[in-house]
Structure 1
Amino acid sequence: MGAVNLYVTEQYLLLKTVDTLQQKYGFRTLFISDARDEFLLEKYDRRINHVICIRRKTFDWSNQLKQDIDSYLRKFYQQPQLFRGKETRFSIVYVSNLKPVDSWEHLSKTMRLKGRKNATVTTYFVDEYEGLEELGKLTNTIDKNDNWKMEALPPISEQERQMVYLEQKIVAIHQHNQRKFEEIFQFGKTKWTFVLIIINLIVFFLMETQGSSTNSLHLIDWGAKYNYAISEGEIWRFLTSMFLHIGIFHLMMNMIALYFLGEITEKIYGSKRFLFIYFLAGFTGGIASYATNDAVAAGASGAIFGLFGALLFFGLHYKELFFQTMGRSLLIIIGINIVFGLAVPQIDNGAHIGGLIGGFIASQIIHLPKKTEGTKQVVAIIGLITLMSAMFLYGSQQTSASENPQTMAAIAQEYVESERYAELIDWSTDRIDQGIEHEFVYFYRAVAYLETDRLDAAEDDLFRSIEINEDFAEAHYNLSVISERENEIGMALEHVRKAIELQPANEQFKQYEKELSQKSTSG
């Protein structure tokens, strides 16, 4: 056989095999070389990922073949998206009428890949003679009930004619799939993602110039999610809290996540859909936080988790593309975040899960570009309104029943530290009028009265806080301070000694008791 005829036959075998894998077995081409002598194909079926690299190449020696196989394995390892499902089967198919002159058969054995217990690689050699049986072995690994054998080779002239047709057909299918991919992943342009990041950065900068973003009172003043205020009608906090962050680390982590998730989501859904999903998810996450977390909260996490939900919705409609691109990594990241949120009490997992669900449902409402599901979209609207209403009512009931003592104490302490005593008195009185009977409320109002020299009112509140919690050492200490100011040293000693009894390790109490004892002795 002449060199030209040899090339024609090999190229025909190559293209015919690729075409059969596409048409008969449903493979998708991932790569086509410029010379049309190398193809990479993939098919995911029944949790098994079949990856076939088919190439026209001749080797003189088996060590050259071994080096080429190793180079393919390195390429496989560099593409983790190829490893999916319960098993990945790599096949390297060489089309050549000339095999290595020395022994090479040992290289055709199926081998397990190092570090990948569920991945194997098998090498096949295909020629126009007995090598055609190799194609039957290959297709049998794809479908055990199938044993495809290529029909007898047509004359050289017919091979040449079909070569042109097959090449055009394969390339056309590949280009069509690429265009479809680009239409899906390049539908929109990234612009609002950057705008949102800039707004968040500006708000954080302004917050820090006027106070600390970790200060609960400062956060509330700027519009953080504060359940008591929301129950009083400040619904707008669900929106404003999305642009506030508690510390630089919180801000940077969320902005990095927004950059990567926002970019891909805005490209898939387009800018209008992206904004709809982002804000509706953020609002849903805020309401979920209102229902499940009574602490002061802020951050874009709910909206960002909504983008996770939007990408999961995309995966529901484009499963193959989803798992070929981001699917596995995305699911792992979501899982890690949810587990981490459940394990760490400070993380507002309600906002995260609420945002995730909200983003998914928002995506169903507005749907993907060029797709509609009328009935499902209406059901999604009704479902989301029902869910948000139920969570809001539940959160309002919880807030009216009680307010988080730790939150109240933190807010009151920040009033004290900023010397906003009049506001602290109003804040405490408002809660008492609302029926909130907690020692912290009376204690901190007493502190404000004490600092404004209203000793009788301070004393009444401190006694009330002790009635609620008789082991409240700080209240006894402050009563001691008031008694000293009223020159009742004996009563002052009685209260400070009670405080020491409750907190024996408190050096401040001990030092004050020592000073009072000296004053009592000298008096």
Structure 2
Amino acid sequence: MYLEDIYYFWKMTYTFISRYEYEVIHIDHERREVWLEQTKGTITKIIRLKQQTFDWSNHLKRDQDDVAEKVKRLSKSLVGRDIRVHLVYISQFPPVDEWEQKPIHINNGRKSVRIMTYFVPQHDRERHLGEVYEALYIKDPPFSPESEEEMESNVPQLRRAVDQAIEQNIKSQQAVLSRGKPIFTYLLIALNVIMYFVLEINGGSQDTNTLIKYGAKFNPFILDGEWWRIASSMFLHIGIFHILLNMLALYYLGNAVERMFGSARFLVIYFVSGIVGGLASFALSQNVAAGASGAIYGLFGALLFFGLIYKKLFFKTMGSNIIGILLINIVISFTIPQVDIGAHLGGLVGGFLASSLVHFPKKRNLLTQTASFIGVLVTGGLLFYAGMQTNETYEPHTEIVLASYYQQEGSFQDAYEVADEAIEEHGNKDSILYFIRSYGHIQQDRTDQALTDLKRSVELNDQNDPAWYNLAVLYARQGERDLAIEAVQKAIDINPEAEDYKDLLNQLEASG
């Protein structure tokens, strides 16, 4: 009976959706074909219901081959590694000749795919349906057939019920992905861009001293109590490409995360990620650092947490792309020396923990959230402790940066003390440090020591034109005109655009 076939198709579809939590991933009303999915743990079950009769087994084989190709493509977006496909044909009778009932096995990368075929023909239909239930590990007894009148009236209702279930599932998925509006994402982008132009106007975003002055992460000042730099450095960027790449990432990732978690939770995730990333940078690197990368990696962590909670929806919408982009970025972080890998990985961990802490709207897990809160505190505490240990002594480059900053800001005594300690106690033999220390000697009228440091400076770096110029000034004060002319001429050779160098040379030549 053809009506009975149609009834069983829609009744089975509705039963699997409403009672056994299968999700429709494809439906064709005209051809009466539906694909259903259910994932539990590592096992994904696919039911492909088809209302069709095959006269011969070769026709069935062609359909099975088509299904196998579709499953290969579909398996890339499926979560489970063990994929079990159940082909259920609702037909008046099975093929008249023998057909292959053995499972079909497909190796598709790391995923195992097994395809099993069942017929639910008119003859003894309830028993055959029971076999399908048994294969799907459904313990409930299959539904019983109804009268022809009941089937005729129920088919339209079942069809509408299936459509409504599909529509409701789509709405619930959209609700998960759009719980908020990306207000703070745009505000953060605007704030970062404003601070970039502030840096450019006041010395340049690639100038180390300007970055330190405006709040970049600089370990010596953090140790002196300027802990706010851990947060302020999140809003500074080094160069046009740095700001463009980070703001592009913030635009896409921030949009997604703020919509999923809502604005308040998004802010918590963003700042916790940035702070944990900053602490990781403090612990693992003494370089001057700036940028929103830690917070942005935290947004990656938030999306991974989303994938943990909404695994099926994650892989259906963005999962493979997000994981691929994240892996590429981590590889780049390890291969490019200038990249602050500590901030990136710290932000990633911080973002995941912060997401678990705030969780999703209307979802609560007190145990997990408490553990995540403790995890944030422990992670931050360990990074703080590690930073205090690793920064007991400064690296040679950090000593140079610190002394240079004090020198540029006019704190000559501080610059002198840093340079002197670096040279005498730490053995840092850098041209810049000798040049800076010479200023301290000059201020204290120790001309001989100043000359010694300047000579050592140009010996270490004969392209240090300010050191040559200062040598010329000191020689001139001592009446050593020839040595002064020779020194200032070298400064001019290195930097022919410096007018004060030329003025000194003219004065020296005129005095002769």
TM-score, normalised to structure 2, is: 0.74
Q: What is the match of residue 129 of structure 1?
A: 123
Offset, 1:303: 0.7
Structure 2 residues without counterparts, runs of 5 or longer: 484-493, 495-512
What CA distance in whole angstroms lies between the structure 2 residues aligned with 1:149 and 1:380?
43
Deviates more, 1:58-67 or 1:124-133: 58-67
Q: Is the 8 A contact 1:432 1:441 kept in 2?
A: no
Map 1:1-400 → 2, pairs under 5 A: 6=2, 8-22=3-17, 25-33=20-28, 37-57=32-52, 76=71, 79=74, 82-97=77-92, 105=99, 110=104, 112=106, 118-122=112-116, 124-129=118-123, 138-139=132-133, 141-143=135-137, 153-208=145-200, 210-327=202-319, 329-331=321-323, 333-338=325-330, 340-374=332-366, 377=369, 380-381=372-373, 383-399=375-391
Q: Is residue 395 of structure 2 the alignment partner of residue 404 of structure 1?
A: yes
In structure 2, what residue type is equivalent to 1:246?
A: I
Pair 1:373–1:118, CA change in 2 (3 A): closer
What CA distance in whole angstroms lies between the structure 1 residues aligned with 2:61 and 2:130?
23
Q: Is the 8 A contact 1:207 1:213 kept in 2?
A: yes
Pair 1:165–1:108, CA change in 2 (3 A): farther
Offset, 1:295: 0.8
Q: What is the match of residue 428 of structure 1?
A: 415
What CA distance in whole angstroms lies between the structure 1 residues aligned with 2:379 and 2:103?
57
Q: Is the 8 A contact 1:439 1:464 kept in 2?
A: no
Offset, 1:391: 2.8
Offset, 1:274: 0.7
Offset, 1:352: 1.9
Counting matched residue pairs gives 474
Offset, 1:309: 2.7
Offset, 1:24: 6.1
SS of 2:217 mapped into structure 1: coil
Q: Is the 8 A contact 2:413 2:440 kept in 1?
A: no
In structure 2, what residue type is equivalent to 1:241?
A: S
In structure 2, what residue type is equivalent to 1:157?
A: E
Pair 1:29–1:173, CA change in 2 (3 A): same
Give deviations 1:355-400, integer Å, cap 9, x for gaps.
223223333443321234456655654553454344334424433x
Give deviations 1:217-272, integer Å, cap 9, x for gaps.
33223322111122222222222211222333333332333223212211111111
Offset, 1:462: 6.2
Q: Is the 8 A contact 2:402 2:418 kept in 1?
A: no
Pair 1:414–1:121, CA change in 2 (3 A): farther
What CA distance in whole angstroms lies between the structure 2 residues aligned with 1:157 and 1:360?
56
Structure 1 residues without counterparts, runs of 5 or longer: 467-471, 491-507, 509-523
Offset, 1:33: 4.4
What CA distance in whole angstroms lies between the structure 1 residues aligned with 2:134 and 2:262?
43
In structure 2, what residue type is equivalent to 1:128?
A: Q
In structure 2, what residue type is equivalent to 1:112?
A: I
Pair 1:80–1:195, CA change in 2 (3 A): farther
Offset, 1:194: 2.5
In structure 2, what residue type is equivalent to 1:406?
A: H
In structure 2, what residue type is equivalent to 1:56?
A: Q
What CA distance in whole angstroms lies between the structure 1 residues aligned with 2:364 and 2:142?
43
Q: Is the 8 A contact 1:302 1:354 kept in 2?
A: yes
SS of 1:261 mapped into structure 2: helix
Give the RMSD, CA atoms, in angstroms: 4.6
Offset, 1:475: 8.9
SS of 1:41 mapped into structure 2: strand
Q: Is the 8 A contact 2:403 2:416 kept in 1?
A: no
What CA distance in whole angstroms lies between the structure 1 residues aligned with 2:143 and 2:360?
44
Q: What is the match of residue 447 of structure 1?
A: 435
Q: Percent of aligned positions with the same letter in both sequences?
A: 35
